[in-house]
Structure 1
């Protein structure tokens, strides 16, 4: 396998056609076609099929595509490292950010990072782990700042824990069940929850099953973004479960409340989540350093709003 063949494979997947791939790579269609044909010939496997709507990748092609992206990502990291050593830091950093961090510390972190590495192109994802995992898996995302549940694939991913945070059941201010004191009082309510594909059972165990509660799962709407969760809680009167800090952070302050249930939930961990055995680039290390500096500054603050934030957080590092 050669580098230009992998680049042609990735461009074809991202653009959906050989013609568009050629435009994105600024080479001829014939060159892209030749590279893909040589790749298929060398592997003696069908990697994709042509259809009227574009290219469809076979299972073989999808596997190779994942590894091709990782190879290109590592080469980008190498180039960034060398540019940094030459004093010409350039490149791209893609980070997944769990929503509650985006609502609290992120703006300050980004400003600090931009001051230290202004030449790095920064791309941020609202990173519920259901969104982040596939992007981490295929190398599209450098790392995520979030929670990897213990039941999720620790063989694939590595975690460095930054802090612990409390979780709770959350409802809108004024919800009919806002004074509930047990999860059993909420089993007839509708819920909206977020979880990764391999995190369903772990979440059900933590929220319901270990407390002897059984819920009709038809009552649960699975949401893949914070905006959907917010609308379901505020406009559709649904219950959700997440970081207690959400109820004290804008834009939820005064709109969403944390219920004081008798059932206790295990603290969760905010971690730097990476592909196992994948080294962080210098820009990635810089971003995490900026994050820690901002969090520590707020942890030491005497401001009322900072004290409220850290009532449900415990710094690890």
Structure 2
């Protein structure tokens, strides 16, 4: 496989046509077509399905596309890192950040990172792991700060633990069921939950099944952002299960109510999650160092609000 062939494959997928790929790469349509045909001949499998409505990919093409994106992203990162070391380029860092870190420590982390590496272009995702995993997989995201649940695909990633954190069932303050004392009393309620594509059973087991509770799947809305969860909790009277620290974050302090239940939940672990066998850049290491510095400063703080945060957290680093 040659680099220009992989570039043609990825550009064709992103633009949806040979013409769009040629425009994206700044070459002729004939050159893109030739690169794709050469790739199919070398691999001896069909990669694309050409139709009047546009391009689509065979199973072979989809599999190769995933790796092609990873190769090109890795190459871009390597070139950026070398250029940054030579003082010729800003470089780029893409980080996924779980919502409760975003609402507590992130602003200070970003300011500290900007002081240390002002030349690096920083891209941040509000990143629940359902969002982060595909981006980590194809190399679009350098690392994520999140919770990696055991699943069939989790072996693709590696994690370095930061915290153990407590979780709680939550609802809008003033909700009619806020005084419930068992998960069994909430099975007739609607729920907004977030989980990775292969994390459904692990979540259901922890929240319901191991407590002998069975809930109808139709009562669960899978929400892919904190904003969606917030709207559904506040305006649709839904319940959720989330890190307990969320209810103490300034944005939610007077709006979210944790529910004290008889059932106990296993503490979850927040980690630095990256692709297995990948190497983090110096910018990524710097961002992690800034994160740890800010977290440790708050952990040592005598302020009441910091002590309340760390009532629900156990620092592991």
Match of 2:154, SS? coil
Name 2:110's counterpart in structure 1.
110
Name 1:154's counterpart in structure 2.
154
The answer to which of 294-303 and 140-149 deviates more is 294-303
Q: Give the unaligned 5+ runs of structure 2.
A: none
Runs of 4 or more, structure 1, over 4 Å off, are: none
Contact 1:94 1:142 in 2 (8 A): yes
Contact 1:152 1:199 in 2 (8 A): no
Name 1:190's counterpart in structure 2.
190
Match of 2:286, SS? helix
1:178 & 1:88 partners in 2: Cα distance?
A: 57
Name 1:137's counterpart in structure 2.
137
Aligned runs of 1:155-170 on 2, under 5 Å? Answer: 155-170=155-170
Name 1:8's counterpart in structure 2.
8
Contact 1:89 1:117 in 2 (8 A): no
Name 1:268's counterpart in structure 2.
268
Name 1:85's counterpart in structure 2.
85
Deviation at residue 84 of structure 1 after TM alignment: 4.0
Contact 2:8 2:35 in 1 (8 A): yes
Match of 1:155, SS? helix
Give the TM-score normalised by the residue count of structure 1.
Answer: 0.95
The answer to which of 26-35 and 189-198 deviates more is 26-35
Contact 1:168 1:242 in 2 (8 A): yes
Match of 1:49, SS? strand
Give the TM-score normalised by the residue count of structure 2.
Answer: 0.95
RMSD: 1.5
Deviation at residue 206 of structure 1 after TM alignment: 0.3
2:62 & 2:295 partners in 1: Cα distance?
A: 39
Q: Give the unaligned 5+ runs of structure 1.
A: none
Contact 1:161 1:316 in 2 (8 A): yes
Deviation at residue 27 of structure 1 after TM alignment: 2.0
